[in-house]
Amino acid sequence: MRAHVGDQLVIESPSTGAAKRDGEIIGLHHEDGTPPYDVRWSDTDEVTLVFPGPDAHVHHIEQEEPGAASDTGRRAPRGRTPNPGDMGRRLVAARRRNGLSREETAARARMSPDYLAYLEEHPADPTAATLTRLADVLGTTATALRGGGADLPPGQGHALLRPEVTDLDPDTCRALLSTHGVGRVGVTESGGRPAIVPVNYEIVDDMIAFRTEPGSVVAAAAGTEVAFEVDHVDETLSQGWSVLAVGPANAVTDAGTARRLTKNAHTTPWVGGERELWITLRPARLTGRRIAPAERQDAGDR
């Protein structure tokens, strides 16, 4: 019996031959893939050391139909669109920085290439042992692959080898603003000092709307021309975009309009408290930029 990390160990009932218990092989103790195995059982999620008996067999995930592997080592139906999680994107970025193919990485980490494909293409929660082996192969740490350091300021990753900066047209800027999120308002305080404050915002009838409390720094935006910025930075792939809206900001004085804005808001202000003063900004100028690789690589590396 030989297995890879990510294969499925199935224990059959001696009387019926049906599967009685199954689990994912998450650790090998011999490089040739022979028993024993560390198995995470699907019914309890516990990990035990297993010496398979005559009622056990290994189900290799490479034998299934083409598709993405599930978190038990089985394969998903054909046509399932990959949806990489943050850890998957970190794995791909680290692998490419090391100039390794998926097959080379999987071989060095003693796992199935299909299982590595699953980790790269879908949100997953591999065991500490699996992640440690991958981190060792990729010259990083398990903590970094899981996103440790996410609280640090963005932009500390590796710069792109061939970055391309693109100016975004107004329609693309509007699409990136979407319907709501967190942006930053640039205002001038009453004392003449500049300030930039993050706010939760909504898009309502081509206007940017955000709420605050009277007398706050953000409230100083009312009746002035302000700048409003939204961005997204993908630290793993060292790329991202930013959108800047400039225009007059006004306080919403109609009680009915304010109530409708509050009722239809997607989120409440993260800072909490009673924030009933709505301010709207109608962009007179909408610009943006995107930084991305000049030559994109095939995401699958197959």
**Under a CB-based contact definition with an 8 Å cutoff, are residues 49 and 31 in contact?**
no
Helices (H), the chain: 86-97, 102-108, 113-121, 128-138, 142-145, 170-177, 255-264
Which CA distances in Å does 112 have to 4, 60, 240?
5, 9, 32
Burial degree of 81 (CB within 10 A; 0-12, 13-18, 19+): exposed
Helix (H, G, I), strand (E, B) or coil at 221: helix
Q: Look up residue 302 and give its amino acid.
A: R
In the CATH hierarchy, which top-level class contains the domain 1-151? mainly alpha
Mean pLDDT of all residues belonging to the chain: 81
Confirm whether 1-151 and 165-293 share one CATH topology: no
- Predicted structure pTM score: 0.56
Residue pLDDT, tens place only, 109-134: 888 788 888 888 887 777 777 888 89
Q: What is the pLDDT of residue 18?
A: 54
- What tokens were used for 51? 């010496």
Is 265:202 a contact under the CB 8 Å cutoff? Answer: yes
**Range 104-112 average pLDDT:** 88
Domain boundaries along the sequence of the chain: 1-151, 165-293
CA 263 to CA 261: how far, in whole Å?
6
Q: Look at residue 71 in the predicted model and tell me its pLDDT.
A: 34
Amino acid identity, position 17: G
CATH topology of domain 165-293: Pnp Oxidase; Chain A (2.30.110)
Give 187-226 pLDDT, tens digit per residue.
988 788 899 999 999 999 889 999 999 989 999 999 999 9
> Cα–Cα distance between 146 and 239 in angstroms, integer?
19
In this predicted model, what pLDDT tens digit does every residue of 61-87 receive, in sequence order?
A: 643 333 333 333 333 333 334 455 678
